[in-house]
Amino acid sequence: MSNERNGESTAIRVMVVDDHPMVRSGLKALLSAYDDLEFAGEAANGAEAIRLCDRLNPDVILMDLVMPEMDGAAATRAIRQKHPQIKVVVLTSFKEDELVQGALQAGAIGYLLKNVSADELARAIRAAYAGRPTLAPEAAQVLIQATTQPPIGSDLTEREREVLALMVQGLSNQEIAAKLYVSQSTVKFHVSSILAKLYVNNRTEAVALAVKHKLV
């Protein structure tokens, strides 16, 4: 199978970005097994990938996420801003929620795990070239959960938000009680409820989460 470009039949040019030489050589060999896919070049990190894009102008990039110097998400964002025609397919060993969401928000069109079969990877490259997304089941599950789960802290009561805001200011239970004209036991009850609703173990974690997600 081949693709028409400027009236000519040509292969999809694929660049491989991974910090492990064995992975890069393995993917290079894999690409050579398909007539419609062509190895366009390789990079060991995101910064190198950005530099090479100007010269190699690949159609599709297979992008690792966790790399030294510049990670895959940052490189994907930079490449997509400068070369919007280049499609990026993440190929990684990691399926953590934040990595999946970060990569897709950066502009990746696909997210696959490295246990994917050769044919599945080839299909994902062709789909990306055609503008169609491909997600590993684990990545799709992350997106489903992100859209169905309520936002962190959405179930906090108005009083709990008041207490949390004072916790962020560094006030103790005794100081919070005096400020809100309630007993210390009432404050302690609110703090316990806040920790439970935010799924954290202590005040420090609660404060860090409140600041990160702008809950107060």
pLDDT digits (tens, 9 = 90+) for 139-149: 888 887 777 66
User: Is the domain of 140 the same as that of 165?
Assistant: no
Residues 51 and 143 occupy one common structural domain: yes
Q: What is residue 118's predicted lDDT score, i.e. its pLDDT?
A: 96
Q: Are residues 173 and 144 in the same domain?
A: no
Verify that 21 and 109 share a domain, yes or no.
Answer: yes
183, 133: one domain: no
d(CA 213, CA 179) in angstroms, rounded, equals 25
Mean pLDDT of 123-132: 96
What is the per-residue DSSP string for 89-103? EEEES---HHHHHHH
Average pLDDT of the residues of the chain: 91
In a domain, 59, yes or no: yes
C-alpha span between 211 and 74 (Å, rounded) = 23
| Structural domain contains residue 131 | yes
Phi, psi of 73 (to 5 degrees): -65, -45
Q: What mean pLDDT is predicted for residues 93-106?
A: 89
Q: Is residue 67 part of a domain?
A: yes
* Tokens 């995101």, located at residue: 46
Residues 20 and 111 placed together within one structural domain of the fold: yes
- The CATH number linked to 200 is 1.10.10.10
Alpha carbon distances (Å) from 114 to 49, 91, 94, 171, 209: 19, 6, 9, 48, 32
Total domains, the chain: 2
Examine the domain organization and report whether 87 and 12 are in the same domain. yes
191 belongs to a structural domain: yes
Q: How confident is the model at residue 95 (pLDDT cuts 50, 70, 90)?
A: confident
State whether 62 and 109 are in the same domain.
Answer: yes
153 found inside a domain: no
Q: What is the mean pLDDT of residues 16-27?
A: 97
Structural tokens at position 29? 């060999």
Are 128 and 50 members of one domain? yes
**DSSP annotation string for 142-186:** HHHHHHHSPPTTTT--HHHHHHHHHHHTT--HHHHHHHHT--HHH
- Going by their DSSP bridges, the two strands 12-17 and 60-63 should be labelled as parallel
Domain end: 148, 172, 202, which one?
A: 148
Indicate whether 163 and 115 sit together in one domain. no
Residue 97 falls within a domain, yes or no?
yes
Q: Do 184 and 133 share a structural domain?
A: no
Domain match, 110 and 196 both: no
Q: Which two tokens stand for residue 131?
A: 């503008």
- Does residue 180 lie in a domain region? yes
| Domain that includes residue 78, residue range | 3-148
